[in-house]
Amino acid sequence: MRVLLPSFSGLLTLALLGSVASLNADVALSTTGPISSISNEKVHVKITLTGDASLTYHAPTYSSKEFWRSKSKPNDPPHFVDWLSDDGCWVGLFLASADTGPYTGKVIDKMDVPLLKTVPVRWFDFPGTCRPGATFETAFSMDSKVREDYFVAVFEGGYSSPVEIGRSQKIIISDKHSPGHVHLTRYQSTDKVLVSFNSAFPVQQYVQFGSLPGLYKSTVPCSATAAPQRSDFQDVPANSSGYVDLGYTHRADITIPPSSSPVYYRVGSDSLGWSTESSFKPPLPPSADLPTSVVLLADYGVTYDDGSKYHWLEPDARNNTRHIAAMISEIDLVFTPGDLAYSTGYTSKWDKYSTQIEPIASRVFFQTGKGNHEQDCEHPPSNGDTPVHYLGDDSGGECGLAADFKLKMPTEGSGNEGNGEVTEAEGYYSLDSGAAHFVMLNTEVASNPGTDQYNWLVADLEGVNREVTPWVVVMGHRQMWDAQMGDEYLQEFEHVLLEYKVDVAVWGHVHYGERTCPMYKGLCVTEKDEAGYDGTIHLIVGNGGQGLSEFPAWRDFDEVQIHEWGFSRLDVVNGTHLVIEMYGDSPMEEEAPLRDRHVIVRDFPRV
Ligand SMILES: *[C@@H]1O[C@H](CO)[C@@H](O)[C@H](O)[C@H]1NC(C)=O
Ligand SMILES: *[C@@H]1O[C@H](CO)[C@@H](O)[C@H](O)[C@H]1NC(C)=O
Ligand SMILES: *[C@@H]1O[C@H](CO)[C@@H](O)[C@H](O)[C@H]1NC(C)=O
Ligand SMILES: [Fe+2]
């Protein structure tokens, strides 16, 4: 007898099935030899169910979660995610260490299925019925860099009482120990760059670099940091069914000579192997004469290439990834203010995220901020006095630990460089690139007047020399203003934006694109100072990949609403011109369609 969990009421129908004991699955795999997870190889799976044909099985029923239809493309089909009911069969891809025994812990959300001791990395549902004689063929693409082998297992009992009925032999990953997830991070200082990557072991690894391809004059040893362990996480699913060991992050600061020519580099070691070579343009120093271009997107997530299901779903995140990668030679930095991988305690998603962004993050500086899905939790780590502002279970028990492990961001800002007040856990920082000063706030910790973050922001903006960086951009995850009126708590520091003449404020968290007029306290500002400053334009860039939010009515301060996936771009042309571009979605093979272009013009020098 299967028990219907209270949290599924209204979602799943109670199944009245015969005995499960007599259903078996034969799982045949075909691959093209040892799999290398970062290539595009696929594992083909063929499953045949055998057992007692006299048993009656129900056809699976589905409960659907709808992704919002794009209002700008009303004829496109809406995106649906089907969650299988109690009586269906499904096939999951598991890391070798997974335990497919029944889950017995606390269930906090209907999305925490399938209820196993270790959830699959991802899975496919059997179409049609789940009964003897049925066959099912599918293919998993090996599209994320992992540190373990895999296996495939077949279950009946749907998502709420799954029972394993067959399992494949191991899928051997040939490059599992080699380095991957290569990531460049900038500091305020322009003569050093942080290079990070991931591997299976804490053996000594290196960054090698030089000014010519293939000729590495410098070799810098890396430090190795172990991933948070299961017991470091304080809540489900990160401490239970969602946990996977994320290996080691290797990091080194490399010092680059002042030059504008590209730096060629690779990472790894003779013992574990070397990455392929990549290159990047050195950080742009602050200067009103230097144009700079940055990409902005939030609420991003991951897309597996095979169309399988996984926790949370961002089926078009890969379109944005591809479109950004296509314009990478024009870009200096990517800023993603929060809701990055949507790992939310299902930590294998960090492996896919880091693999997905590598074509971008190994070539330009990829700067992140923290969102609720990285940080918010009921039991914040006690490694600092960081006052978490929004409690809740949005990070699935990660409490920022997994994000800090994967994505170390700078701790200093130009306003107070070296005073040691900003801790890594607080996660806010600033840096200059060409004619612009960029600030990344952490909206998940306190920011109202009197708090550390507020004082830091004021000191940082006070320290900006507008003759050098005439443009100032402030970013954070939760929106201070948007068409739903924004967040009153964040509005408590809005006066700082006006006082320091912040040009653009960039937010995510709500899943659409939006641009406002220059505004203050909910009203458009039309008066300008002598240099042409009126107010802060608020940009929402939360259309990075997660299911789109329904757009509320237009507000008086709205100038553009973009109800489709996409990303935005700021091009600082010179001291007088800044261009905001907002892109929409399109097939990966095509160019991203430009939906809006807006130019801000001011005098230079400012006043
Ligand atoms: C995970 O955290 C929850 C909430 O703190 C706790 O009840 C549960 O026992 C933990 N599970 C494990 C396996 O530690
Ligand atoms: C800045 O760039 C704009 C657009 O290209 C140009 O029209 C303007 O003259 C430039 N301003 C200065 C001060 O060079
Ligand atoms: C994303 O790209 C895929 C593959 O090219 C395409 O089928 C899909 O329609 C694209 N999504 C959107 C929202 O344009
Ligand atoms: Fe969010």
* CA 508 / ligand 4 centre spacing (Å): 7
Which two three-digit tokens encode residue 380?
Answer: 């914040």
What is the pLDDT at residue 298?
A: 98
- State CA 305 to chain mean position distance: 16
Same domain membership, residue 156 and residue 298: no
Q: What angle do CA 536, 537, 538 make, to 5 degrees?
A: 110
- Condensed to tens digits (0 to 9), the pLDDT of residues 15-46 reads 334 444 468 899 999 886 778 877 778 999 99
Segments forming the whole domain that contains residue 579: 292-601
Task: Establish if 554 belongs to a structural domain.
Answer: yes
Atom 10 of ligand 3, residue of closest alpha carbon: 587
DSSP 256-306: --S-SS-EEEEEEETTTEEPPPEEEPPPPPB-TT--EEEEE--S-----TT
Are residues 35 and 44 in contact, defined by beta-carbon separation less than 8 angstroms?
A: no
Mean pLDDT of 251-278: 95
Atom of ligand 3 nearest to the CA of 70: 13
Q: Is 307 in the pocket of ligand 3 (CB under 6 A)?
A: no
* Structural element, H or E, at residue 372: helix 372-375
Alpha carbon distance 118, 446 (integer Å): 34
Which residue's alpha carbon is nearest to atom 1 within ligand 3? Answer: 587
Q: Whole-angstrom Cα distance, residue 361 to residue 363?
A: 5
The 3-class SS string of 413-476 reads CCCCCCCCCCCCCCCCEEEEEECEEEEECCCCECCCCCCHHHHHHHHHHHCCCCCCCCEEEEEC
- Position 129 scores a pLDDT of 73
pLDDT at position 385 over 50: no
Report pLDDT digits (tens) over 430-467.
999 999 999 999 999 889 999 889 999 999 999 999 99
- Residue 425: pLDDT band (50, 70, 90) is low
pLDDT of residue 426: 76
In a domain, 445, yes or no: yes
Check residue 75 and give its pLDDT.
61
**In the predicted model, what is the mean pLDDT of residues 511-532?**
96
Closest CA to ligand 2's atom 5: 573
- Give domain status of residue 245, yes or no: no
Residue 306: name the closest of 537, 514, 138, 522 by CA. 138
**Residue 280 domain-assigned (yes or no):** no
Element housing 506 (H / E)? strand 504-507
The answer, yes or no, to whether residue 123 has pLDDT greater than 90, is yes
Q: 373 CA to middle of ligand 4, Å? A: 6
Ligand nearest to the CA of 603: 2
Q: State the pLDDT at residue 161.
A: 84
Q: Does 536 fall in a domain?
A: yes
Whose structure tokens read 């550390």?
A: 452
Instruction: Judge residue 191's burial from the number of C-beta atoms within 10 Å of its C-beta, 0-12 exposed, 13-18 middle, 19 or more buried.
Output: middle
Domain end position, chosen among 137, 167, 197: 167
Phi, psi of 307 (to 5 degrees): 80, 15
Q: Are residues 299 and 161 in the same domain?
A: no
Distance (Å, rounded) from C-alpha 503 to C-alpha 480?
14
* DSSP string across 85-135: -TT--EEEEEETT---SBP-S----GGG-S-BSS--SEEEEPSS--STT-E
Supply the CATH number for residue 331's domain. Answer: 3.60.21.10
- The pocket around ligand 2, CB under 6 angstroms, is made up of 573-577, 604
**Interatomic CA distance for residues 6 and 106, integer angstroms:** 12
Q: Which ligand 3 atom sits nearest the alpha carbon of residue 565?
A: 13
- What is the rounded distance in angstroms from the CA atom of residue 9 to the CA atom of residue 14? 9
Separation of CA 465 from chain center = 33
d(CA 442, CA 380): 15
Question: Which of 135, 167, 199 is the last residue before a domain boundary?
Answer: 167
Closest CA to 144 of 302, 319, 317, 278: 302
Degrees to nearest 5, angle at CA 522 with 520 and 525: 45
What are the residues facing 269 on neighbouring strands? 273
In a domain, 304, yes or no: yes
On whether both 480 and 336 belong to a single domain, the answer is yes
CA atoms within 13 A on the CB side of 334: 29
Q: Whose CA is nearest to atom 5 of ligand 3?
A: 587
Does 414 share its domain with 547?
Answer: yes
Q: Of the ranges 77-91, 379-393, 587-601, which is most confident?
A: 587-601
Q: Give the whole-number percent of the chain exceeding pLDDT 70.
A: 86
Q: 416 and 559 share a domain?
A: yes
Q: Is residue 456 part of a domain?
A: yes
Residues 162 and 298 in one domain: no
What integer is the mean pLDDT of 5-12? Answer: 29
What average pLDDT score do residues 572-599 get? 96
Amino acid present at 183: H
Cα(413) to centroid of ligand 2, in Å?
Answer: 29
Atom 14 of ligand 2, nearest CA residue: 574
Q: Is residue 419 part of a domain?
A: yes
Indicate the range of 66-70, 186-190, 406-410 predicted with least confidence: 66-70
Q: Does residue 299 share a domain with residue 155? A: no
Cα distance between residue 305 and residue 316, in whole Å: 10
Residue 310 Rama label (left phi>0; alpha psi -120 to 50; beta): beta
Residue range 528-540: mean pLDDT, rounded: 97
DSSP conformation class of 327: T
* Distance from Cα 48 to the centre of ligand 1, integer Å: 37
pLDDT (tens digit, 9 = 90+) per residue, 225-262? Answer: 999 999 999 899 999 999 999 999 999 999 998 888 99
Kindly give the distance from the C-alpha atom of residue 563 to the centroid of ligand 1, in angstroms, as a whole number. Answer: 39
| CB 205, CB 191: distance < 8 Å | no
Number of domains in the chain: 2
Q: Which of 167, 186, 206 is the last residue of a domain?
A: 167
